[in-house]
Amino acid sequence: MENNNMPLLGDDFPKLQVQTTHGQMNIPEDLKGSWFVLFSHPADFTPVCTTEFVAFQKRMDEFTRLNTKLIGLSIDQVFSHIKWIDWIDENLNVKIEFPVIAANDSVAAKLGMLHPGKGANTVRAVFIGDPKGKVRLVLYYPQEIGRNIDEVLRALKALQVSDVQGAVPAGWPENELIGDRIIIPPACDVKTAKERLEKNEGYDWWFCHKPLETN
């Protein structure tokens, strides 16, 4: 059996040469310069997966504005993906515009998507990669629970903001304590700790925050 290795945060995204509904792709090489969200689904022609595909597609413009590409994946064959996408268009009036990977067990194993305790299909995995092809976020859901696509969007926005401005709080941008403000890293020496609250808002020297910078 293939090793089922989960990519770790900060790792280079595993190199994959795959067949998709948009033709052959080399990932992450073909995605360099863009953020990307690669998400797996257990099987085509299943209700929960259909709701997820529709939800991702309806938010595709938001992902595009964030310089982010969507890629779906399951271990169904490409002709099954094509037929399912046609069904969604014909019956739900939603045209799926992102590519869908027809993965094999080797590809799924490289991404840690085959969990023996959950059967032979891929679990619901989400990988967010950055423009350098680094793994920045990983989520796994069981087959029976559909994902919240707004949370994927929120996490993507938070990653992009934190890369430039600093850490973000729980539920950002609607945190119960500090709203959309950005957390300042804790001081690492006594002098800075004493100065921290004199120069910034906060609850203590280790919990200071600043306004979100907007373009």
Burial call 129-145: b when 16+ CB within 10 Å, e when fewer: bbeebebbbbeebebee
C-alpha to C-alpha distance for 152 and 115, rounded to whole angstroms: 22
Q: What are phi and psi of 121, to 5 degrees?
A: -80, 160
Q: How many CA atoms lie within 13 A of 156 on its CB side?
A: 28
Tokens for 166, please give them: 């600093």
Hey, which residues does 126 pair with through a beta bridge? 39, 139
For the purposes of burial, counting CB atoms within 10 Å of the CB of 214, is it exposed (0-12), middle (13-18) or buried (19 or more)?
exposed
Give the residue numbers annotated as catalytic, written as ranges: 49
Which residue bears the tokens 């994959």?
16
Ramachandran assignment for 4, one of left (phi > 0), alpha (psi -120 to 50 degrees), beta (any other):
beta
| Beta-carbon contacts of residue 133 (< 8 Å; ≥ 6 apart) | 12, 13, 28, 29, 31, 32
Q: Write out the E strands in 88-200.
A: 100-102, 124-129, 135-141, 182-184
